[in-house]
């Protein structure tokens, strides 16, 4: 497809020129650095694995630092050496100009870097890269990385779920940065699988005892330990989701601290179903018994009863990833499991990685990879 700039030029009857930039001085403490940019204003453009990219890059960059540019209000990327959220566009242009190269999503800084003829790595997903890739690189190199989108065409949507940009593997971006900088090193890291919930930053709490945990995304797993005293303690500091297998006291339903209720049981308590429905709290009712499913759907015909077959989940997830030797793979998890005073990366870790069924049940939260020559 044609570049947008070419289409605009045709429509206006003009030739494409090179932007005239007037960077304004901005103090930078580092002599050798690259710039990085992410942006969550357009949800489908935001890449959620920059920290993984940085963790792969830093051992290879030596004394080269990573500076994040962008607008005020953008979250700091974990791992960057400096974040400049208050710099103006002209000041950011100065920082990019003095840097060794730029990596980021399809946004203004990518095109500023191209206009300044700096090495660029730009990533794309919800549009074709050819329509808006860096246009003005001359002596320096520009690499565009386009998500394979799982074999689908671009959505051209501002919102995606799941986001296709997150199908781009961190090592591909990191290696491209080394390539445009002319650093002759290879990243020996291979991603085998990325779950859709890997970037969720989710916390699941098994309420065995009071905990000081605080997070934006908490699921209190009352189905593992039904402890209303601990639940009451947690919701003093957090709004939470609650997964349960038996009813909780009705006072919780009017607390305005529960964002969602997931009620999983072989048979449901009718009064509790009615209370949850009337409370207006978003909810999901899940029947865990194939034997009782028809009966429960007939009994509660006016609400949606979902079905969960754990064995079927495990079977399907085994098809999504083939692992020949579990001793050779490494796992990074997008959630934490809090149990008492201990924190685990998953239920698979909580059970000391002895039960492979937990690996497949937690798979949606994992990035599975190998390192070195494995």
Give the CA angle between residues 188, 50, 365 to the nearest 5°: 85
Q: Quote the pLDDT of residue 72.
A: 79
Compute the distance between CA of residue 122 and CA of residue 100 in angstroms, rounded to an integer.
Answer: 15
Q: Which domains does the chain have, with CATH numbers?
A: 4-187 (3.40.50.2000), 191-374 (no CATH)
Q: Which two tokens stand for residue 237?
A: 């500091």
Which residues lie closer than 8 Å to 292 by C-beta, 6 or more apart?
A: 266, 267
Distances (CA, A) of 347 to 25, 211, 333, 338, 367: 51, 18, 10, 10, 15
Distances (CA, A) of 133 to 94, 146, 288, 310: 21, 10, 49, 44
Q: Quote the pLDDT of residue 139.
A: 85
* Buried-state track 65-87, b at ≥16 Cβ within 10 A, e below 16: bbbbbbbeebeebebbebbbeeb
Q: What is the DSSP string of 20-42?
A: ---------S-SSEEEEE---SS
Determine contact, residues 159/45, Cβ cutoff 8 Å: no
Distances (CA, A) of 137 to 23, 91, 117, 265: 18, 21, 5, 60
Q: Quote the pLDDT of residue 372.
A: 78
Going by their DSSP bridges, the two strands 202-206 and 218-221 should be labelled as parallel
Q: Quote the pLDDT of residue 373.
A: 61
Successive 10-residue mean pLDDT values, the chain, 374 residues: 90 92 94 94 95 97 96 89 94 97 96 96 96 91 95 95 96 98 96 95 95 94 97 96 97 97 97 97 97 97 96 96 92 95 94 93 96 70
> What number of H helices and E strands is found in the chain?
12, 17
Tell the burial category of 312 from Cβ atoms under 10 Å away from its Cβ (0-12, 13-18, 19+).
exposed
């Amino acid at each position: 497809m044609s570049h947008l700039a070419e289409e605009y030029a045709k429509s206006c009857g003009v030739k494409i020129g090179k932007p005239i930039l007037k960077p304004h001085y901005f103090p930078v403490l580092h002599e050798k650095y690259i710039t990085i940019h992410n942006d969550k204003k357009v949800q489908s453009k935001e890449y959620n694995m920059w920290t993984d990219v940085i963790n792969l890059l830093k051992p290879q960059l030596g004394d080269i630092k990573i500076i994040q540019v962008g607008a005020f209000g953008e979250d700091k990327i974990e791992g960057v050496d400096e974040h400049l959220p208050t710099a103006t566009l002209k000041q950011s242009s100065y920082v990019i100009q003095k840097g060794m190269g730029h990596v980021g999503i399809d946004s203004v800084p990518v095109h500023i870097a191209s206009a300044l003829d700096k090495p660029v790595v730009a990533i794309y997903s919800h549009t074709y890269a050819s329509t808006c890739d860096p246009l003005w690189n001359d002596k320096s190199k520009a690499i565009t990385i386009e998500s394979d989108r799982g074999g689908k065409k671009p959505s051209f949507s501002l919102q995606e779920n799941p986001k296709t940009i997150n199908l781009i593997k961190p090592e591909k971006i990191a290696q491209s940065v080394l390539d445009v900088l002319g650093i002759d090193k290879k990243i020996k890291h291979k991603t085998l699988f990325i779950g859709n919930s890997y970037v969720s930053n989710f916390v699941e709490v098994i309420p065995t005892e009071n905990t000081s945990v605080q997070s934006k995304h908490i699921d209190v797993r009352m189905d593992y330990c039904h402890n209303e005293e601990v639940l009451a303690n947690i919701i003093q500091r957090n709004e939470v989701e609650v997964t349960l297998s038996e009813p909780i006291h009705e006072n919780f339903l009017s607390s305005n601290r529960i964002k969602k209720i997931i009620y999983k049981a072989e048979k449901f308590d009718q009064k509790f179903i009615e209370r949850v429905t009337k409370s207006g709290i978003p909810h999901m009712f899940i029947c865990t018994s194939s034997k009782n499913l028809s009966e429960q759907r007939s009994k509660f015909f006016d609400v949606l009863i979902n079905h969960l077959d754990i064995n079927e989940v495990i079977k399907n997830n085994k098809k999504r990833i083939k692992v020949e030797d579990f001793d050779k793979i490494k796992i990074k998890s997008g959630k934490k499991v809090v149990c008492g005073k201990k924190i685990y990366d998953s239920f698979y870790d909580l059970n000391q990685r002895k039960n492979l069924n937990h690996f497949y049940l937690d798979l949606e939260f994992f990035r599975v990879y190998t390192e070195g020559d494995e």
